[in-house]
Every structure is written in structure tokens, then in C-alpha cells.
Structure 1
Amino acid sequence: MLRNIIRFKGFRKVINGGFSKPSLSSVKLTRRYNYNNGPSYRRFDNGDYSQKSSFKNFLLDKSSRKYLAILFGGCSLFYFTHLDRAPVSDRSRFIWVSRPLELTIGNYTYKATWRQTQQAILPSHHPLSIKIENIFMKIVEAAYKDPSVDNSLLDGIKWEIHVVNDPTASPNAFVLPGGKVFVFSSILPICANDDGIATVLAHEFAHQLARHTAENLSKAPIYSLLGLVLYTVTGANVINNLLLDGFLRMPASRQMETEADYIGLMIMSRACFQPRESIKVWERMANFEKQLNGGEVVNMEFLSTHPASTRRIENMAKWLPQASEIYEQSDCGSMGNYYKSFFSI
């Protein structure tokens, strides 16, 4: 809430008004009258002006630079020694969060999601649950066959498929660390067929195969440190969040979504699902988004954590030759070539 405090000799008047917003810090303006030197003004931001000033002085102090250099060198060494390669895409990424911690967070998220959706979850013997489980397990088996995949990330995981039968929910599906899979029935019309379901499941599976959860957790302290440095320059948390979201968080999220699209497409092709269907899935998703926006195409990708559906269609078309080659070289492709050669005799 914006608050002006005007102090006069012997009394104080408080004026409340303006607006309140959860993400904005309260601002206090204090006006003091000095009858000898005239009026003087001081501005207090968040009540910690001295702390901000002292931290800024620390950054600029010459005697502190050697400590900052040591800190920077240590952080750089830690960063480069914790770079890892993502499977299939071979992208270099920074991960320091341990696998047990990642699984613990996944388990916590699973319990919270289960409590919210348990009333609408179909039983495991339901035909739809069995169908989706069969498609998903083919994708897992195909991941084992990929030479770039570390199979230790898949060993010992008990995969559990949960189909949430709630047509009113937003179309969604996700795979949590630890093997818990949630598929909302509202996304099935967009999938349309088994190849479409495989497109969505392979994408969500790719997030966990590439350890995107651990990557996000690993970057969180870096974002916090950068936010602190920016605060010494701007003094405004709102501007800091806009800068971090616009230039770091959201681009990184879109990069991981694009990587999951790529990895998922290659794995579903290896699992004998038609890669061309992936383009049709995102075309149907684009039409759904258009209907949701009253028939208008809204492309605000730079403000989103996900790439626009039109861009995903372009990417799928670009990757399709490689995916088709994998499809032809997979077991199903070999079987097809066998029958072709048999009837050509």
C-alpha cells in the first residue's frame, strides 16, 4: 500500500490511498522540516536503505575485490565441474542437485497432486489406463535402446500411470521425478490417436530423462544472487524480476521445452510411433488455443515459459527427416523392410 507520512511540529498526518500489489514493496516518504536549514527529504525503500548501501559499498570497495575475485573463481570452478550433457540432444547444462533430492521433491509433488486429483483418477484396470500405460512403456523401452541415454536414470523406477478423468480441466499431462505419470482426459481429443498420445507422453518423459527438474533447482541460487546484485543497481524488486524473467528464466524454460520436444520426437520414433503425427498434434493444439482466445491468434512467446505452437510446428518439420530416419532404422522399420524384401522376391 502506498502511504504518505507528513510530519509537522507537534502532530502527524497520515494519508492512505493509491494501490496495493503483492509484488510491490511499501514505499514510505518522510518529510522533515528544519527551521534552520529549510525542508529536507529522505526516501526509504523497504526500510533497509543502510543495508543496501553497505552491500553496494562492499562491492565497490577496493579491499573487497580480492575476496570477490576468489569467490568468483570458486563459483566458476564449481560451475564448470558440474556441467553435464543431456541425452539425445547433447546440450551442455549445469546440474549440481543430487538425484536423491530430485526424487524427494518429485515425491512431495506427487502426494500434493494425488490429493487434488484422486477423486477423478481412473482405476488401473480401466481400458483407457491400460492403453496409455502400454504406449508409455513402449517409450521407456525405446529410451533404453538409445545409446546416449544413461540407463541408470531409468533402472529401479516404478512407473505409475494416472489418468485423470476430468473433461473440464485444462489439457495437460506431466511426468514427475520418480516415475509418476499424470494424463488429463481433456488432452486426449488433441492427441486424437495413439501416435498423438505418444507425442505428448514422450515430450513429458523427455523432461525427466533430461533432468530438467534438477536443472531448474540448480539455477535457482544463481537467479537469487543475480537478483541481489541487480537490487544494488536498481533498488526495485519489480524491475529485477522483469529483467530476470525476460532475459533468463523464461528463455531457459523455453529452451528446455524445445529440448523436450526434440528428445521426445526422437524417442517416440524409436518406439515405432509415427513421427509425422507430432506436427498434427501441435496443429490441433494451435487450433485449440485459437478457439480459447475467441478465434484470435495470440503470439506472446517472449512472455511465456513455453514456445508458441506455431514455432513448435516449425521445429517438428525441421527435425522430421532425422526422426523418420530413426523410425526406419528401428525394429518396426526393419520389420517393414523385411516384408517389402520378402514380397519383392
Structure 2
Amino acid sequence: MKSALTIGTILLLSACVPTTTPTTETKPSTKPKTTATAPKAPQVTRSASSGVSAYKRVAQRVEPVAEAACRSFSRDMPRTFCDFRITVDQDTRKAPNAYQSVGSDGRPVITFNINMLRTIKNDDEVAFIMGHEAGHQIARHLVKKRSNANAGALLGALVMAGLGGDPTDGANLGGAIGAQSYSKKFELQADRIGAHIATRAGFDAIKGARSFERTGGSNSLLSTHPPGADRFATVQQTVAQIRAARAQGQTAPIKW
């Protein structure tokens, strides 16, 4: 009983961990609940060699644009902060995925695994995903997630200890929740940046974001990705702003 109580308390208090964005209170909905369905697994649409060829072709155009965009926001950082390395993970056992990390040399790394490249339909999708992952670096999301995780771990340990539980368990749970705090917000921010980067590199960001229709999203508490419809709408809105600026002979500033 105590374990359930303490975990529940941490879940409730975890909403207080981040301080970057205010929370809003919502009233209980009177609409009937709908049962969410899991998105279908992405289908293989091309050979591994074709996927790698697309990745190489697109990276030549996207990487310089991503680096330039990054440097415009990172004048206070070392040069390595925006020196993107784009790689392919050849492990065929992994589920389709692309992600951004930081190497031991401080360079940001954008990794596509081979199964991800086999499910992507066109160069626009490759370009948008590259831009999206670069967006995480530009917006410094890894640093912010680390900070949220540390705050969550501290809060979890304090709450669990105060209720007579194991502080280590509280720290582990609080850290996990803290790391995911505002992850959906971060994904939407990266989508906005990715739309700018893909467009500036000469690709169709809206066409690139069509992949959301295949991969879907999630509304669950611990999900790190927003629903696909929300993400696609965000890209559409961003591209509309880019086109409106172009119609005036201007370049829309990157905002997230």
C-alpha cells in the first residue's frame, strides 16, 4: 500500500519538476472516452542500399544548412557543438529509429539505423528527419532533459524518503519522469526547426512530415512523442510562415 502511495505521489509531484513552462489546469471532459489504437509498424519500402544512398545524397545538402542554422544560435559554444556527424547504424535487429546524441569529442551525432532508412519513402522524409534531429541540438534539448532528470531524481528521493520508502527507488523513478518532462514539447520544437532546415536545403518539409501518418504518436503519460496529427499540423503551420515570408522577399527566422 505504501509503495503504491509513494509512486502515486511522485507521479503527481513530477509535474512540478520543470520550471521552464507553466502548467495549465483542465477540467474533466464529459465526452465519452475513446480507446487509442497502437500505430502500425512502419513497412519496408526499399532496399538497404537504396536507403543508404538516399541518406548520403540528402546529407550532403542538409548538413551544411543545419550547421549554419546551429551556429547562428550557438555563438557561445565551442565550434564542435555544431559540427554534425551523420551516421548509419547497420544493426538489422533494431526497430526503425533515428536519434541525436553527442560524441565523446563533443560533436553532435545524428544516427539513422538501417531499418529506419528502409521504411522512408523519399528524400523529403530523410531531409525532414535529419533537420528534426539537428533541431534537438540547436535547441539544446539533451542539456535540458539532463537538468530535468536531475531535478526529478532529487524530488523523487525526497518524497520517497519522507514517506518512509527507499530514496534510491524514488530517485530512479523521479529521474525517469523528469527526463521525459516536456519531451513532447521538445519534439514539436524540433519539428519546427526541422521544417526550416529541410526547406532551406531545398526539400518539401510537408511531404517529409508525411511519415507521421505511418508512425502515429501517443497521448500516454510517459510517451516522449506527441500524436502524429499534432506534429504534422505543426509542420504545416511552420511551412506556411516560411512561404509567407518568401512571398514578401524575406527569409523566415527560425523559431521554436
Secondary structure class of the residue paired with 2:182: helix
Instruction: Write the distance in 2 (CA, Å) between the matches of 1:189 and 1:327.
Output: 34
Question: CA, structure 1 residues 138+260, in 2 after alignment: closer, same or farther (shift >3 Å)?
Answer: same
Length, aligned pairs only: 202
Are 2:205 and 1:275 equivalent residues in the alignment? yes
What are the superposed Cα offsets for residues 253-295 of structure 1, whole Å, 9 maximum, x if unpaired? 2222221112222222233221221431211323xx8xxxxxx
Matched, 1:219 2:137: no
Aligned counterpart for 2:128 among listed residues 191, 195, 199:
199
Deviation at 1:304, TM superposition (A): 0.9
Task: Select the structure of larger CA radius of gyration.
Answer: 1
Counterpart secondary structure, 2:79? coil
Q: 2:221 aligns with which of 294, 302, 306?
A: 302
Q: Indicate the RMSD between aligned Cα atoms, in angstroms.
A: 4.0
Q: Distance in 2 between matches of 1:270 and 1:137?
A: 11
| Deviation at residue 209 of structure 1 after TM alignment | 1.2
Q: TM-score, normalised by structure 2?
A: 0.61
Q: Which residue of 2 aligns with 1:163?
A: 88
- Check the 8 A contact 1:175/1:204 in 2, yes or no: yes
Flag structure 1 segments of 5+ consecutive residues without an equivalent. 1-23, 25-78, 84-90, 93-120, 290-298, 332-345
Displacement over 6 Å in runs of 4+? 238-244
Whether 1:230 and 2:159 are equivalent positions in the alignment is: yes
Cα pair distance change 1:261/1:323, threshold 3 Å: same
Relative contact order, higher structure (CA 8 A, sep 6+):
2
> 1:257-336 maps to which residues of 2 (within 5 A)?
257-286=187-216, 299-325=218-244
Identity of aligned residues (%): 24
Pair 1:140 & 2:66 matched:
yes
> Secondary structure of 1:235's match?
coil
* SS of residue paired to 2:224: coil
In 2, distance between residues paired with 1:236 and 1:327? 59
Q: Secondary structure of the residue that 1:301 maps to in structure 2? A: coil
- Preserved CA contact (<8 Å) 2:213 2:228: yes
Give the direction of change, closer, same or farther, for the CA distance of 1:220–1:244 in structure 2 (3 Å limit).
Answer: closer
8 Å Cα contact 1:272/1:327 also seen in 2:
no
Structure 2 unmatched ranges of 5 or more: 4-17, 23-47, 252-256
DSSP-derived class of the 1:306 partner: coil
Describe how 1:87-98 pairs up with structure 2 within 5 A.
none
For 2:74, the equivalent position in structure 1 comes to 150
**Could you tell me which of 110, 116, 133 is aligned with 1:187?**
116
1:131 maps onto 2:57 in alignment? yes
TM score, norm. by length of structure 1: 0.48
- Aligned-pair distance for 1:204? 0.7
Q: Is the 8 A contact 2:145 2:179 kept in 1?
A: no
- Note the C-alpha offset of 1:198: 0.9
Q: CA deviation at 1:152?
A: 5.2
DSSP-derived class of the 2:88 partner: strand
Residues 140/330 of structure 1: CA separation in 2 closer, same or farther (3 Å cut): farther
Describe the SS at the equivalent of 1:161.
strand
| 2:15 match | none
Contact preservation (8 Å) 2:124, 2:203: yes
Task: State the distance in 1 between where 2:246 and 2:231 align.
Answer: 20
Residue 176 of structure 1, aligned match among 83, 96, 101: 101
State the secondary structure of the residue aligned to 1:305. Answer: coil
